[in-house]
Structure 1
Amino acid sequence: MSTAPIRVNRAPVLTLWAAVVAERLGHAPDTALSLASAVAGTAARAKARRLGLAEEHEAAAPKEGRPAPRRTVRLLGREIPLAEGPEGPLAAEPDGRPAKPGAVRAYVARAFGERLPEVRAAMEDLAARFEPEELNRIGFRLYEAFRPEVPPDVSGWGARAALHLERIRAAAD
């Protein structure tokens, strides 16, 4: 296990953390990955609006012939609509179809490379320190405590910065 920081942008860090939190809440791994992708997507859209890179707009309406999602799950302060997938509930895409957890799994694996197991283990250890409901309530603040800090002189969307495993382990202190 290396103590060197991992160079990564914030989106995959939030995605992995949200998946760990969702699993701690009792969601199956595929459901957790799809929910995590939705959380990271809503956070990215909110940041784009704050930076003036996107305009405010209504959520995309489901396409004709597809029913609007009826159930939602609250994860890290966001209400995520659900759709029924082949293996059970998954986050709903804007058009109402179930999200594809395999794509999220590949995205996280690419982002962390061979360091994924140790990052996931540090996040799971942090998540285990809280009761599930408390973790879901404070989980985004915990993420803010350990997420990579993008230096002020670095510009651009998706800039990489250092993720320190020690900060994940100390986030609850």
Structure 2
Amino acid sequence: MTRSATIPTMIKVNRAPVLTLWAAVVAERLGHPPDTALSLASAVAGTAARAKARRLGIAEERDQAKDAQAAARSLSTAKPQDTTELLGRRIRLTHDEDGVVLAEGEGKPAPAAPVRAYVTRAFGSHLPAVRQAMQELAGRYAPEELNRIGFRLYERFRPEVPPDMRGWGAKGALDLGLIRGMGDAEA
């Protein structure tokens, strides 16, 4: 059996788990442990989802104002925290007994387990192949360069949503051949 016969090249999936997995792969390449990488990836995907909700008119302005007020309260009352940058997003961090994790809302740790379950559900049996393709692409760049250009790379390989599919949660085709080819062409 050839490699192409056993590993799919096109996978139908929503963009959000693709960004989540890619952000986790980039975070790991930057040296973050896997659980921390998943927490950070959740923050990146959440930021992108909120921006899309605003573009689609799903998020109301009063919700945005409440989020901004909660964030300001959290920053003014929270203990000093570390920050990191991932794919152009500055993320506040907090520490718990398991290490460094994303500081959500009022400084509560964002656990990795739900993010891991989400990505596993989204990709199913294709997860190892998708992760491998992404890791191979990420490995072709120095960590700092990858973090700087990583979101643009994602924009080039993310699933295209068919023109007749509008709105939230539309699935498109993720082309693993494209991801692998990007790495070959840019190495």
TM range (shorter): over 0.9
1:39 match: 44
User: 1:163 and 2:174 equivalent?
Assistant: yes
- 3-12 or 71-80, which moves further after superposition? 3-12
1:143 aligns with 2:148: no
Letter in 2 for 1:145: R
1:18 aligns with 2:20: no
Match of 1:105 among 95, 110, 116: 116
* Deviation of the 1:135 alpha carbon: 0.1
Given that residues 69 and 81 in structure 1 are in contact (C-alpha distance below 8 angstroms), is that contact kept between their aligned partners in structure 2? Answer: no
Judge which range, 10-19 or 80-89, deviates more: 80-89
Question: For residues 95-126 of structure 1, what are the alpha-carbon distances to aligned partners after superposition, in whole Å with 9 as ceiling and x for unaligned?
Answer: 21010100000000000000100000000000
Q: Distance in 1 between matches of 2:109 and 2:80?
A: 10
Higher mean alpha-carbon deviation, 30-39 vs 151-160, is at: 151-160
TM-score by length of 1: 0.93
Q: TM-score, normalised by structure 2?
A: 0.86
Structure 2 counterpart SS, 1:60: helix
Superposition pairs of residues 70-109 of structure 1, within 5 angstroms? 70-109=81-120
CA distance in 2, matches of 1:59, 1:4: 44
User: Is the CA contact 2:78–2:106 (under 8 Å) kept in the aligned structure 1?
Assistant: no
Please state how far the C-alpha of 1:170 moved relative to its aligned partner: 2.1
Distance 2:18 2:79 in 1: 30
- What one-letter code is carried by the residue in structure 1 that aligns with 2:51? A
Q: Secondary structure, in 3 states, of the residue corresponding to 1:92?
A: strand
Instruction: Give, as a single letter, the amino acid of the residue that structure 2 aligns with 1:120.
Output: R
**RMSD (CA atoms):** 1.9
Rg: which structure is higher? Answer: 2
Of residues 53, 60, 69, the one that matches 2:70 is 60
Between the two proteins, what is the percent identity of the paired residues?
65
Post-superposition Cα deviations, 1:123-156, rounded to whole Å, max 9, x if no partner, equal: 0000000000000000000000100000111123
Is the aligned partner of 1:152 residue 2:167?
no
Amino acid at match of 1:41: G
Unmatched segments (≥5 aa) in structure 1: none
